[in-house]
């Protein structure tokens, strides 16, 4: 057998050889981006001096400590400018190449905020000996995410293995690069017919015993989780509705309940690559689950349900094992038949109790958390959640149901709010959507369940809750200033990053507005809608005026 000293010499030799290759692969010392800039005449001279080649002369480009994402289909490098970095617009540049004398030059290599917003393409030429190759550079102010699979065509509704690489450009990000193994599959309902698809990813890691287990990590400053959603926004003309609405609930109403549990979720914008090919503007977020509600998946007394259709709860057939239109969203083991049955019984008992106490307001109040219910009523009306509430019906809403000693109570958890702020589904509209098909004066009521019955009963206290809650929200989270601040941030993300133009180029059949207008039209619609709400929820208005 090989002795220890000999093994050590071989190991050191291998490490030295590897280090030598690495050093040789970087050509020249780092230089500032501005030092690579040449005039158009100089660029053309380089092109005429060197013959075009199909050889890949560059194996990687670093701006500062950031290795740029590369799309080989378009020969384009993507640079995510780190927030707050004084050298972000003129970073140090290093290249890696398998060839000995590769140099690069950049045509008019200045980066500006205006050029980024206009998705300007910077041409770069790499040259070595007698040959050259043209590359392109695009800049963004958003984080970048690459999902690597065996084949992008294999991503379907069945989960396939993937590797995730996220570059986080946010100011103060604890880790610039996050990597993880995991699985990815297509998600969504009607949106699965679109070419730009939404995805769900589950992150995994290998334990010491070589077993895969969930990899709970924080992405872009959000909570630690292993389960994430990539939202596409293909049929939203400004790519804002679901993100803005979800985050507005999260920042204003999500924990406004007696137990202070989180009934919402949030999103962050990024640009997605699939197998290194540019895929477009997406938003990443986490799904609503039992963890955030402090529910025990194995408890008979708690359960999370998702309403997936417009079926009426009043159509419930006594003796049924499940409620039509609902899906159990619990993490409970599906093989535990008694547990699953008991969780369904919880929802059935909840609605049977409503039916048995239609005119008993005291009992009706026990079926809801009043702050959560009033928040949901006002919120869905504000955003015109036409795919969430329709008077006596709900859809795309989670119900978190819990049994205690004296009652069964449910919390509303809003979800999937792309059809809002004037947009609604229609088979006659482009991509099944009618943009601004509603006026800002249209109202959209949550009139179902225990809260709806209290409204129908004209409970003397319910409208005081509504009026006072609306005034409080308008003074705080829903103030004109706070709403404007949120919209400013999203306009920066969607339009000033250049991602909106890149997305429209990548998916030209999607629904888009005028890039030059940014969020101007949406801002006005939001302002008009708030003005309608202000008038609607004045205390001087009779209660019957707003009764669903």
- Give the pLDDT confidence score for residue 28 in this predicted structure: 56
Mapping DSSP to helix (H, G, I), strand (E, B) and coil, where does residue 21 land? helix
Query: Whole-prediction pTM value?
Result: 0.92
- Give the pLDDT confidence score for residue 1 in this predicted structure: 38
* pLDDT tens-place string over residues 477-507: 999 999 999 999 999 999 999 999 999 999 9
User: Which residues have C-beta within 8 Å of that of residue 347, sequence separation ≥ 6?
Assistant: 303, 305, 323, 326, 399, 401
- Give the pLDDT confidence score for residue 313 in this predicted structure: 85
User: Does residue 108 register a pLDDT over 50?
Assistant: yes
- Give the pLDDT confidence score for residue 27 in this predicted structure: 46
Predicted confidence band of residue 540 (pLDDT cuts 50, 70, 90):
low
User: Does residue 72 register a pLDDT over 90?
Assistant: yes
Instruction: Break the chain into its structural domains and give their ranges.
Output: 24-138
- Give the pLDDT confidence score for residue 9 in this predicted structure: 43
User: Does residue 224 register a pLDDT over 70?
Assistant: yes
More confident residue, 248 or 28: 248
Which among 72, 50, 284, 34 is positioned nearest to 178, based on CA atoms? Answer: 284
The answer to whether the beta carbons of residues 495 and 519 sit under 8 Å apart is yes
User: Does residue 220 register a pLDDT over 80?
Assistant: yes
- Give the pLDDT confidence score for residue 208 in this predicted structure: 74
User: Does residue 273 register a pLDDT over 50?
Assistant: yes
More confident residue, 414 or 543: 414
* pLDDT tens-place string over residues 396-447: 999 999 999 999 999 999 999 999 999 999 988 999 999 999 999 999 999 9
User: Does residue 272 register a pLDDT over 90?
Assistant: yes
- Cα separation, 163 vs 197, whole angstroms: 18
- Give the pLDDT confidence score for residue 320 in this predicted structure: 79
For the beta carbon of residue 47, count every other beta carbon within 10 angstroms.
17
Predicted confidence band of residue 314 (pLDDT cuts 50, 70, 90):
confident
Predicted confidence band of residue 368 (pLDDT cuts 50, 70, 90):
very high
Q: Could you give the percent of the chain with pLDDT greater than 90?
A: 84
- Give the pLDDT confidence score for residue 207 in this predicted structure: 77
- Give the pLDDT confidence score for residue 205 in this predicted structure: 94
DSSP string, 384-413: T-TTTEEBTEE-SEEEEEEE-SS-EEEEEE
- Furthest-apart CA atoms within the chain: distance in Å: 93
Predicted confidence band of residue 189 (pLDDT cuts 50, 70, 90):
confident
Mean pLDDT of 52-73: 96
Mean pLDDT of the chain: 91
Predicted confidence band of residue 119 (pLDDT cuts 50, 70, 90):
very high
- Give the pLDDT confidence score for residue 110 in this predicted structure: 75
- Give the pLDDT confidence score for residue 547 in this predicted structure: 44
Mean pLDDT of 324-344: 93
Mean pLDDT of 355-370: 96
Q: What angle do CA 251, 252, 257 make, to 5 degrees?
A: 115
User: Does residue 274 register a pLDDT over 50?
Assistant: yes
- Give the pLDDT confidence score for residue 129 in this predicted structure: 87
* pLDDT tens-place string over residues 192-219: 899 999 999 999 998 777 788 999 999 9
What's the CA dihedral at 256, 258, 261, 266 to 10 degrees?
-10
User: Does residue 20 register a pLDDT over 50?
Assistant: no
- Give the pLDDT confidence score for residue 19 in this predicted structure: 31
Cα distances from 402 to residues 264, 302, 346, 447, in angstroms, run 17, 4, 8, 21
Predicted confidence band of residue 152 (pLDDT cuts 50, 70, 90):
low
More confident residue, 117 or 321: 117
């Amino acid at each position: 057998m090989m002795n220890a000293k000999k093994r050590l010499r071989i190991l050191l030799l291998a490490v030295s050889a590897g280090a030598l290759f690495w050093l040789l692969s970087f050509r020249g010392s780092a230089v500032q981006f501005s030092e690579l800039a040449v005039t158009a005449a100089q660029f053309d001279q380089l092109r005429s001096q060197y013959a075009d080649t199909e050889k890949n002369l560059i194996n990687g480009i670093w701006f500062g400590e950031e290795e740029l994402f590369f799309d080989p289909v378009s020969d384009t490098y993507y640079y995510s400018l780190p927030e707050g970095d004084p050298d972000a617009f003129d970073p140090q540049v290093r290249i890696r190449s398998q060839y000995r004398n590769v140099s690069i030059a950049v045509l008019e290599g200045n980066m500006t905020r205006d050029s980024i917003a206009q998705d300007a393409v910077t041409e770069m030429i790499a040259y070595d000996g007698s040959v050259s190759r043209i590359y392109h550079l695009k800049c963004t102010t958003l984080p970048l995410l690459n999902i690597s699979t065996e084949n992008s065509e294999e991503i379907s509704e069945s989960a396939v293995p993937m590797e995730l690489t996220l570059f986080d450009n946010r100011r103060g990000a604890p880790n610039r690069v996050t990597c993880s193994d995991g699985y990815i599959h297509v998600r969504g309902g009607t949106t699965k017919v679109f070419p730009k698809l939404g995805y769900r990813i589950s992150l995994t890691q290998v334990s010491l015993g070589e077993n895969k287990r969930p990899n709970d990590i924080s992405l872009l400053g959000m909570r630690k989780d292993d389960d994430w959603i990539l939202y596409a926004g293909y049929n939203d003309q400004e790519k804002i509705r679901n993100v803005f609405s979800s985050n507005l609930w999260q920042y204003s109403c999500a924990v406004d309940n007696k137990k202070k549990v989180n009934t919402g979720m949030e999103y962050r914008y990024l640009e997605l690559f699939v197998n290194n090919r540019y895929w477009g503007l997406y938003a990443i977020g986490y799904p609503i689950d039992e963890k955030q509600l402090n529910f025990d998946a194995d408890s008979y007394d708690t359960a999370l349900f998702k309403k997936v259709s417009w079926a009426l709860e009043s159509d419930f057939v006594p003796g049924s094992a499940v409620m039509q239109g609902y899906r159990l969203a619990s993490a409970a083991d599906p093989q535990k038949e008694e547990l699953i049955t008991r969780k369904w019984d919880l929802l059935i008992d909840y609605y049977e109790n409503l039916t048995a106490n239609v005119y008993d307001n005291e009992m009706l109040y026990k079926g809801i958390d009043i702050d959560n219910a009033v928040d949901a009523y006002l919120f869905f009306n504000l955003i015109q959640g036409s795919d969430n509430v329709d008077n006596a019906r709900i859809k795309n809403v989670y119900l978190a149901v819990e049994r205690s000693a004296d009652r069964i109570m449910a919390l509303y958890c809003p979800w999937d709010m792309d059809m809002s702020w004037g947009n609604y589904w229609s088979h006659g509209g482009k991509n099944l959507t009618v943009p601004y098909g509603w006026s800002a004066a249209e109202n959209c009521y949550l009139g179902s369940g225990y809260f709806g019955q209290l409204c129908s009963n004209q409970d003397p206290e319910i409208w005081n809750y509504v009026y006072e809650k609306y005034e409080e929200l308008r003074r705080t989270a829903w103030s004109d200033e706070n709403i404007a601040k949120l919209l400013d941030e999203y306009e920066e993300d969607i339009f000033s990053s250049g991602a909106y133009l890149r997305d429209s180029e990548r998916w030209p059949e999607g629904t888009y507005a005028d890039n030059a207008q940014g969020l101007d039209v949406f801002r006005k619609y939001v302002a008009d809608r708030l003005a309608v709400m202000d008038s609607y929820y004045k205390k001087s208005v009779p209660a019957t005026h707003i009764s669903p």
